[in-house]
Amino acid sequence: MSIAENIQHLRQQIPGQVTLIAVSKTKPDEDILSAYAAGQRDFGENYVQEMVAKAEILPKDIRWHFIGHLQSNKVKYIVPFVHLIHGVDSFKLLKEINKQAAKFNRVIPCLLQVFIAKEESKFGLDDAEVREIMNENMLSELKNIKIAGFMGMASNTNDETIVRKEFHHLKQLASEFPQCNIISMGMSSDFPIAIEEGSTMIRVGSLIFGKRNYNQ
Ligand SMILES: *Cc1c(COP(=O)(O)O)cnc(C)c1O
């Protein structure tokens, strides 16, 4: 199936209120333009340089989501144009985003990345750290960021019970902060479960663009 057909097929499977983010990391501009021609406007990228290069060339009404692990020293490159930063996993990073955003007079929406999986290698905050950051006293200083919600990645397992439990956990935690109503969870392998558990944004790469080849 073509990229356009993949997107149409996916749209039939997701409710209208769920935002589909096409994860285009490692994929060429032509692939993004094929998705764009099919009406897709939200794209997700993991690497700063790659996202900056694509944003320069591709249509200006694309909404660029940064979904990777963001290093503080690279924040300045994406702040002029990024639509939503999904993977914020420290207060230090939040402060840096705030500082850079102020230079552009922007208020940048951010999602706190919550560690919900079993695997040790995944980034993210635990529940206590989320509650600490969400404490008004810490956030009130930061006028140029907005916590718009939460992001999480479930364990990479075929055991649906585990995946469901992890998504459920994120939804429960998020419901403590009803003013932050974005829940970014669900990828190619697990988005149907994520939606059942309350996801509002799914990040889908391989089901749209095919497998990634990191060795090119
Ligand atoms: C690569 C990536 C995705 C998309 O993964 P697929 O399995 O190809 O759908 C989603 N979220 C994050 C954070 C990613 O790094």
For the stretch 14-39, pLDDT in tens is 999 999 999 999 999 999 999 999 99
**Alpha carbon nearest to ligand 1 atom 6, residue:** 205
Distance 123 CA to ligand 1 centre (A): 14
> Is the model more confident about 211 or about 120?
211
pLDDT band at 136 (very low <50, low <70, confident <90, very high): confident
pLDDT of residue 216 exceeding 90, the answer is no
Q: For residue 118, what pLDDT is reported? A: 81
Q: pLDDT at position 120, please? A: 64
Which atom number of ligand 1 is nearest to the Cα of residue 46? 15
Q: Which atom, in ligand 1's list, is nearest to the CA of 207?
A: 9
Tell me the DSSP string of 96-139: HHHHHHHHTT--EEEEEEE--SS-TT---B-HHHHHHHHSHHHH
Question: Which residue's alpha carbon is at the smallest distance from atom 7 of ligand 1?
Answer: 188
Mutate to test the pocket of ligand 1, among 25, 67, 183, 211 (most ligand atoms within 8 A of CB): 67
* Spacing, Cα 61 to ligand 1 middle (Å): 22
Comparing C-alpha atoms, which of 102, 72, 77 is closest to residue 88? 72
Span 88-99, mean pLDDT? Answer: 97
Q: If we measure between CA atoms, which residue out of 145, 149, 134, 146 comes closest to residue 184? A: 149
CA distance linking residue 38 with residue 179, whole number of Å: 32
pLDDT in tens, 34-68: 999 999 999 999 999 999 999 999 999 999 999 99
pLDDT of residue 122: 64
pLDDT at position 32 is 98
- Cα 68 to ligand 1 centroid, rounded to whole Å: 9
Measured from the Cα of 209, ligand 1's closest atom is 8
By the 10 Å C-beta count (0-12 exposed, 13-18 middle, 19+ buried), 124 is classed as: buried
Ligand 1 atom with least separation from CA of 87 = 13
CA of 57 to the centre of ligand 1 (A): 23
Q: How far is the CA of 23 from the centre of ligand 1 (A)?
A: 6
For ligand 1, residues with CB inside 6 Å are: 23, 25, 46, 67, 153, 187-189, 203-207
Q: Residue 70 has what DSSP assignment? A: P
179 CA distance to ligand 1 centroid (A)? Answer: 26
What's the pLDDT band for 215 if we cut at 50, 70, 90? low
Distances (CA, A) of 32 to 12, 26, 52, 61, 110: 20, 11, 14, 13, 24
